Amino acid sequence: MLKALIIDDETRASGILELMIERFVPEIERTWCCNDARQAAGLIHEVKPDLVFLDIRMPYQDGFEVLNQIRERRFKVIFTTAYHEYTLQAIRIQNLIK
């Protein structure tokens, strides 16, 4: 079974995603939400998720800055953003994580 962490500054968006995961992804047994990017890296270290749903554009730190704080990335990342201009950067980051 998998553990997932949702990092998104919009509580409504993270709540909807959490509900969708609970209903449609039985492989994910536990989900945590983080709505403040400044706390995200600490929560990643604490929870040790298998999967991180990561918003890119957030106040204080963007999703890429959050990832840069994690030395050992033992999780997969799914970027959740409405901004297409981050697509290439997200793909590059994904290639570095593998």
CATH number, residue 38: 3.40.50.2300
Q: How many domains does the chain have?
A: 1
pLDDT value, residue 91:
62
* H/E segment holding residue 22: helix 11-24
Residues in the chain, pLDDT under 50:
98
Cα 96 versus chain centre, distance: 16
| Environment class of 7 (CB within 10 Å of its CB; exposed 0-12, middle 13-18, buried 19+) | buried
Residue 39, CB half-sphere, CA atoms under 13 Å: how many? 12
pLDDT value, residue 28:
98
pLDDT value, residue 97:
54
Q: What is the pLDDT of residues 20-33, one digit of tens each?
A: 999 999 999 999 99
Domain membership of residue 23 as a residue range? 2-97
pLDDT value, residue 81:
74
